[in-house]
């Protein structure tokens, strides 16, 4: 099963993508996580991506598309995957559609996790991320057992620089301009599914399972 998660920054795409990956036994591919791992390891890709990410903008399509297409051609992607944070622009979506077509494949579901802007700033300022394993927490809605420490790997949790309110406002603006049009794109492709992302995490997941099938 090939699934795309759509939604504003902080809508809960990553939270739900991890649950989907575990239930349906497919890899969770987050372009944001791939960029952050590259930044942490000081790679050339990471250095190229960092300034765009810090400013709340998008990493250019020339960098992002090739990276994602390489990833979905890896062996673990044969039975599908859940894409989290890609595509984010119409050219990214078109490149993905074309690459899949060449393999005789297509996306099964594009799940839009709908959350209004008013809720986003609050979600992001409470988000804490583990740069060790990619786990995500929320200080109120999904707190770790021990404050500031990752339940999974024990590393310390951070507030991402780009989750500070000024940058979140910029990211929301970029979302509305460049990413929101993908909702219509996938509606036209006939694969759009919508869920109410303001519900609690388990309810949102149940709504997604109802769509994908048990």
Residues of this chain that interact with ligand ADP (CB under 6 A) are: 7, 9-15, 31-32, 35, 52-53, 57-59, 64, 85-86, 88, 92, 123, 126-127, 136-138, 141-142, 162, 171, 197, 200-201, 204
Q: Which stretch binds Zn ion (CB under 5 A): 47-55, 114-122, 142-150, 197-205?
A: 142-150
By beta carbon distance, the residue nearest ligand ADP is 32
Q: What are phi and psi of 83, to 5 degrees?
A: -90, 130
The residue (of 105 and 200) whose beta carbon lies closer to ligand ADP is: 200
**Contacting residue, 130, 182, 204, 207, with Zn ion by CB under 5 A:** 130
Q: Is 13 a catalytic residue?
A: yes
Instruction: Kindly name the residue from 50, 160, 187, 199 that is annotated as catalytic.
Output: 160
Of 13, 18, 19, 123, which one is the catalytic site residue? 13
Do β-strands 136-138 and 127-130 pair in parallel, antiparallel, or remain unpaired?
antiparallel
Angle at 145 (CA atoms; ends 165, 81), nearest 5 degrees? 70
Among Zn ion, ligand ADP, none, partner that 13 touches (CB below 5 to 8 angstroms by kind): ligand ADP
CA distance 171 to 192: 23
Residue 134 interacts with, from Zn ion, ligand ADP, none (CB under 5-8 Å by kind): none
Whether 171 is a known active-site residue: answer yes
Q: Residues 75-91, buried b or exposed e (16+ Cβ, 10 A)? A: eeeeebbbbbbbbbbee
Degrees to nearest 5, angle at CA 155 with 150 and 159 = 70
The answer to whether 158 contacts Zn ion (rule: CB under 5 A) is no
Out of ligand ADP, Zn ion, none, what residue 123 binds, judged by CB under 5 to 8 A for its kind, is ligand ADP
Cβ atoms within 10 Å of 202's Cβ, excluding its own: 9
Angle at 28 between CA 80 and CA 110, to 5 degrees: 65
* C-alpha torsion 80→130→198→124, nearest 10: -130
DSSP code at position 198: T
Q: Which listed option, Zn ion, ligand ADP, none, makes contact with residue 80 (CB within 5 to 8 Å by class)?
A: none
> Is 160 designated active site?
yes
Q: Which is nearer to ligand ADP, 10 or 80 (CB)?
A: 10
Catalogue the active-site residues.
13, 88, 127, 160, 171
């Amino acid at each position: 099963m090939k699934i795309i998660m759509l939604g504003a920054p902080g809508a809960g795409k990553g939270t739900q993508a991890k649950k989907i990956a575990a239930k349906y036994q497919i890899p969770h591919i987050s372009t944001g996580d791939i960029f952050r791992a590259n930044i942490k390891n000081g790679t050339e890709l990471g250095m190229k991506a960092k300034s765009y990410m810090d400013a709340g903008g998008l990493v250019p399509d020339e960098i992002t598309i090739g990276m994602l297409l390489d990833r979905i051609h890896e062996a673990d992607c044969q039975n599908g995957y859940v894409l989290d944070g890609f595509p984010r622009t119409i050219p990214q979506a078109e490149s993905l559609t074309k690459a899949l077509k060449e393999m005789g494949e297509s996306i099964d579901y594009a799940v839009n996790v709908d959350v209004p802007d008013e809720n986003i700033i609050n979600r992001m300022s409470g988000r804490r991320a583990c740069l060790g394993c990619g786990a995500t927490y929320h200080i109120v809605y999904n707190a770790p057992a021990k404050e500031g420490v990752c339940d999974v790997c024990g590393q310390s949790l951070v507030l991402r620089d780009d989750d500070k309110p000024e940058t979140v406002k910029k990211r929301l603006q970029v979302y509305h301009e460049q990413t929101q049009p993908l909702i219509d794109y996938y509606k036209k492709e006939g694969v759009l599914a919508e869920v109410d992302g303001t519900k609690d995490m388990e309810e949102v997941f149940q709504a997604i399972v109802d769509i994908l099938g048990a």
